[in-house]
Structures are given as C-alpha cells and as structure tokens.
Amino acid sequence: MKKLFYIGIIGLILFEIANVYFIMPMPGSQRMNSIDAAYFLHTWRWVFRAVFGAMALVGAFVAFRGKKWEPYVAGICILAVAAVTYAANFKMAADSMFYQPSVLTLKNRIDNKVAKERLVIGVEVNGQTRAYPIKYIGYHHQVQDTLGGKPIIVTYCTVCRTGRVFEPLVDGKKEMFRLVGMDHFNAMFEDKTTGSWWRQANGEAIAGELKGKFLPEVPVMQLTLAKWMELHPTTLVMQPDAKFQEKYDSLSKYETGKRTGELTKRDFGSWNDKSWVVGVEVNGGVKAYDWNQLQKEKIINDMIGYLPVTVVLTSDKQSFVALQRATPGQKLSMKNDSLYDEGGCVYDLLGKSHRKGIPDLERANAYQEYWHSWKTFHPNTKRYK
C-alpha cells in the first residue's frame, strides 16, 4: 500500500509536468511533433488526476503511519504535488500569463496617444479601418473586435513574429477562444465550444473535433502608424490598457529586434532561424524575401509561380507591402513611396492607380516573420536570392 502512495505521487507530478511541457516553450518541447500527445493528455487530464490521486489516497493511510521519518517524507510529497500542480496550472498556464485587454479603447488620429513610429497591424473591412500596435497585441496575443460589421480576432505571436487577423467563425457561428499554449513555437488557441486547438499562424484547427478546419483570414498590413494613417486618414487606433502598462513596456524593444531574450531576439544575419523575412502568399504560391536584402534593394520585382509580384519597403524602412503587377513585363520603380511603371502609370502603396482608366493593382498577403516560423508553416516556400 505504501508503494501505491508513492506511485500515485510520482504519477501526479509527472503528469502535471507533461501536461504543460508539450505546449509551452521548454527545452526540446517545441521541436517535436507532439501535438496529438499533448491534446490527449489535456483531454483526459481529469482521468489521469483521478487515477493517480486515488492511488495516493489509498496508500496515504499506511504512508503517514510509517516509522520515524516516513510521515514527514509523505507530507513533503503532498506539498510537492501541490506546488507542481499550482505552478503548472496557474503560473505556467498561457491564459494565466497573458490576458486580453479589460477594455478595448479606440481613438481617431487627433485623439490618438500612440507614438507614430510604432509598428501596427492595419486592418480594413468594408471601408472601415483600424490599427493595432504590435507592442500591445504582442502581449495580449489576441484582441476581439468588430470592424465593418464583422467580428474579428486580431492575433500576434511574438515568438514567431506573426500578426494575423481572422473572423472568429466556425461553421458560420461566432466562437470564443482562449490562449492555451504553443506548438512549434506558435501560439495556439482553444475554442470554447469543442475545445479544439487552433494555430495562430494560419488559423488551422490542429487538434480536436474540428481538426482540419480553418478560420476565415482577413488581409492585413504591417506598417508604422504614421504610414498607416497616411494611407487611411480616418482610421481608429487601439490605445493601451493602463492595467497592462508594465507588460507593454517589456516589449518596447521588440519591434526593432533589440530584445535579448532567446525566444524573441532577432538574428541580424540572413536565413537563420531568428532572421527576419517577408513571406508572401499569392494564389497558393509562397516565397520568402530576406529582410536584409529588401532593405538594400527597397523594391523587388519578382515572380511567384506564374504571377508577377512586387515587394516594396517604404521610406521609413519599416513598412512594406506586396502587390501583384498587371503583367510579367510590367516593372515597378519607387519614388517618394509612390510606384511607377515604364508607361508612366502611378500607384500608391495600396495599389490604387492615379490615372483614370488604369486598373488598380491587387495586394498580395505579405507578413514579416522569423525565418523558422515561415519555413515551418510553409514547408513548400521558395527563397528569393
């Protein structure tokens, strides 16, 4: 019976550690394909706890009636279980470390207090525009909002440097999500209805009843607030929640890549795991552009598959955009953040033509990410050289 107590104690400790190990950034955990094991442990967590807890309870009577030091050892074991359980479920749980804003405050450009050099994720839906500073959503991981009459969820993962916006709709119904952990260094959300786990990088359900489904993605742009306001003068801007000011301040150097933490630092070289790239998706084709090279060339006319694409870095050296050119033969150049072709056509950074009768250029999805993130979630990506 005494052995049963210690087996139960060891089982409880190992289970609680394993339950967070696979979904948090611990040594080796994020480089394994362990999502199915993690979801199994999470789904059956109360069964594991009940079985090991019952074993410990049955053997506790004998363990605590042992000779000399044995009751003290049993007591220490109980305290160890309590400490590990508390740490795993409260201190190390993702949704206990990162919170959504208690109040979402939005201001127009006149009343806005956010510094204009800050990077934002800009969103436009049905003619309405909003800007969400990375400094804020990087901490929150998700912000729920309504834009252009549609519900949206603005997400960001600082470990992957991925900003994505989705409609939180599953089979046409609005869903609520909580941050549950990460897989391959990317944030995961759990839906309230089925408990399925969703990947932040592409909105895919990767575990649970809804595995294989995708959330509808909303196109975004990553620019400085100044550049976003220049393109969208009537935009509203997310303001800081004073409750989390200390958390925001801890990310003050994140946008420029000057943080020193292993997970969120920048490698200033090229094509290393923590190097920055601009990943572009267009009609199923994907390609990555080295940030250092883009800073040198400023504008890159390229082909992704059979589609002509131009990637542009603006004069602030932080904002970027990708546009589909009209034809492969069309070459774009840039002056004062306006785009020109050889025929004299002029376009702004949104692809809008300045000449009557000349059609606009379409935007392509473009994201700034760490190279390890882009190549993990786009295994068929090409590299621009």
For the cut 80, the answer to whether the pLDDT of residue 248 exceeds it is: yes
Q: At what angle do helices 70-86 and 45-64 cross, to 10 degrees?
A: 160
Tens digit of each residue's pLDDT (9 = 90 or more) over 211-233: 999 999 999 999 999 999 999 99
CA nearest neighbour of 348 among 308, 368, 321: 321
For the cut 90, the answer to whether the pLDDT of residue 303 exceeds it is: yes
* Edge-to-edge strand ranges of the sheet holding 217-218: 142-147, 150-157, 162-166, 217-218
From the CB of residue 91, how many other CB atoms can be counted at a distance below 10 Å?
11
Looking up tokens 């990637």 gives 311
Looking up tokens 């267009």 gives 282
Going 165 to 171 to 172 to 175, the CA torsion angle's sign is negative
Range 344-348, long-range pairs (CB < 8 A, 24+ positions): 347/323, 348/231
| Confidence at 65, pLDDT banded by 50, 70, 90 | confident
From the CB of residue 172, how many other CB atoms can be counted at a distance below 10 Å?
5
pTM of the full structure: 0.93
Would you list the DSSP string of 126-151? TTEEEEEEHHHHHHHSEEEEEETTEE
> For residues 153 and 157, what is the distance between their CA atoms, to the nearest angstrom?
13
pLDDT of amino acid 322: 98
Looking up tokens 């549609």 gives 150
pLDDT of amino acid 362: 96
| Confidence at 66, pLDDT banded by 50, 70, 90 | confident
Is residue 153 within 8 A of residue 191, CB to CB? The reply is no
- Name the percent of the chain lying above pLDDT 70: 100
pLDDT of amino acid 67: 75
Instruction: Give the CA dihedral 53, 57, 59, 62, nearest 10 degrees.
Output: 150
> For residues 314 and 319, what is the distance between their CA atoms, to the nearest angstrom?
6
Q: Which residues of 198-224 are buried (b: 16+ CB within 10 A; e: fewer)?
A: bbbbbbbbbbbebbebebeebebbbbb
For the cut 80, the answer to whether the pLDDT of residue 371 exceeds it is: yes
